[in-house]
Structure 1
Amino acid sequence: MAVGAALALNNILLDLCITGTAEVNQPVRHYFDVGVFGYGACLTNPGEGVESAFGGALAGRGLVPLPELADNPLTVREEPSVDRMAASSMIPIWVEPVHGYRTPMCEAIAVVGDHVLDWAQKHRDSFPPIVINITDGMVTDSPYRGARLEEWVQRLTSIRTNDGPALFFNVFLSPAHAPEVLFPARAAGLPEPGPLLFGLSSELPAPMLENARADGVDVRPGARGLAFNVGRSTLLRVLQIGTRVPGRPY
């Protein structure tokens, strides 16, 4: 699962770089600031914790301007297609798969929240920050620093720009074969930890509802930013829907 998630992340980072390129052979524009954080096993300080997943020239960085991201992949190598149908291709690699230890989700939200708060204070007129949490396990550190997971998420989503609150979406990668659930409008019928993640997930704002419908997803009023039991191709689809905000300045 870590390999599939890393492949989807590298594909969406490449998509963002392409989105930021107005014309062929022109520099990537600063449309986004992007961060990727891993929680569980760490490489910089071996053991369990939370750290930036970027390596190489971007090692240890939190949020990185899109042009700088485009200029500093770890490597370029041949990777299989995410949908497993098309031939493999050469793509830039920014994130390598890492797995192990437990799931310190509260600590991860606390760390990311610090970066989100700093960004929001500097970009008051931008679309609010989008945080997508990809996990394959139950939270293992609630409470953390005296606050439970729900409180950490509430703190995160209380951070605002002039356009609204930060958005918190969740993607659960199940180790078992189970039906995929995409952007549900209610928690009924979801196995654990589905109801918890549903309650934590933000409602999809109007532009993302339009993205989902344009992508052929049947979304109902009140749909939440939750994808449950998804595979790697659906994961990429979710990331694309969750990061396309048409016609907005950054």
Structure 2
Amino acid sequence: MEGKTWVSVSELAATPLGSEEVTETKLVRGTFKTQTKEVKYWLSSVASSLTPMGAALEHASLLLKDWIEAHPSSYPPTVFNFTDDAQTDCSDDELLEKARFLKNLHTEDGNVLLFNCNISTSKQEPIFFPLSRTELPQNDKYAHLMYNLSSDMPEKYAADVAVLRKTDIPTDSVFSAMVYQADDAALVRMLDIGSRSQRTMIGRDK
């Protein structure tokens, strides 16, 4: 909402940017049925040539510091960083330091969680919440940078992530809060898992 830094869910729901008609075809009892419905939207994407990711993380940190001071006992904030390319406003080391500062912010309930999502139009399968960097393309420097930027996911997310990945819950490692080469469906899956919150002590990274 224009002119506001923090917006509640109810305020956001009440003020969409607009709506559009979407046609869906579903299989119902063996018959394909098509229906058109109106869907609201809250974001209007705009493409530009630069990716000031460092500035975005700095700005998020400033906002979160103020919010945490006002809500010290709350569930720790979750930050989603969606990007289609590498940063253009700082070095890799500088970006890592900005991400480290953000992830070290914490409430009494735990650290801020930083999720990173690389949006891609490639035909490669998305890589969901890797357990180690060996799951990433070994010659892709940017994939490994995203891995280093991302938070370790708290244990309470492990069951949901394991179901998504169709793997067992790990006992000697943790999932990384990132999705690489994400299409629209992968982005939604990440949001679904990352936005689930419940009041719990999730521990602090030192």
Q: State the TM-score, normalizing by the size of structure 2.
A: 0.81
Aligned: 1:160 with 2:106: yes
- Pairwise mapping of residues 74-153 of structure 1 onto structure 2 (< 5 A)? 74-79=17-22, 89-143=37-91, 148-153=94-99
Aligned: 1:59 with 2:5: no
2:158 to 209, 225, 231: 209
Instruction: Provide closer, same or farther for how the CA distance between residues 125 and 88 of structure 1 changes in structure 2, counting only shifts above 3 A.
Output: farther
Runs of 4+ in 1 over 6 A off after TM superposition: none
The one-letter amino acid paired with 2:11 is: E
- Checking the alignment, whether the CA contact within 8 Å between 1:136 and 1:175 is kept in structure 2 is no
Deviation of 1:91 after TM superposition, in Å, equals 2.2
Classify the secondary structure of the residue corresponding to 1:64.
Answer: coil
1:230 to 182, 193, 200: 182
Deviation of 1:117 after TM superposition, in Å, equals 1.2
Matches of 2:187 and 2:68, distance apart in 1 = 26
The one-letter amino acid paired with 1:154 is: R
- Checking the alignment, whether the CA contact within 8 Å between 1:156 and 1:166 is kept in structure 2 is yes
Larger radius of gyration: 2
- Checking the alignment, whether the CA contact within 8 Å between 1:178 and 1:229 is kept in structure 2 is yes
Deviation of 1:234 after TM superposition, in Å, equals 1.2
Deviation of 1:171 after TM superposition, in Å, equals 0.5
Matches of 2:2 and 2:91, distance apart in 1 = 29
Structure 2 gap ranges (5+)? 25-31, 201-206
Instruction: Provide closer, same or farther for how the CA distance between residues 154 and 78 of structure 1 changes in structure 2, counting only shifts above 3 A.
Output: same
Percent of counterpart pairs with the same letter?
26
Instruction: Provide closer, same or farther for how the CA distance between residues 239 and 217 of structure 1 changes in structure 2, counting only shifts above 3 A.
Output: farther
Matches of 2:49 and 2:74, distance apart in 1 = 36
Matches of 1:185 and 1:151, distance apart in 2 = 22
Instruction: Provide closer, same or farther for how the CA distance between residues 99 and 159 of structure 1 changes in structure 2, counting only shifts above 3 A.
Output: same
- Checking the alignment, whether the CA contact within 8 Å between 1:207 and 1:246 is kept in structure 2 is no
Q: State the TM-score, normalizing by the size of structure 1.
A: 0.67
Task: Indicate the RMSD between aligned Cα atoms, in angstroms.
Answer: 2.4
The one-letter amino acid paired with 2:94 is: R
Matches of 2:166 and 2:43, distance apart in 1 = 28
Q: How many residues align?
A: 186
Aligned: 1:173 with 2:173: no
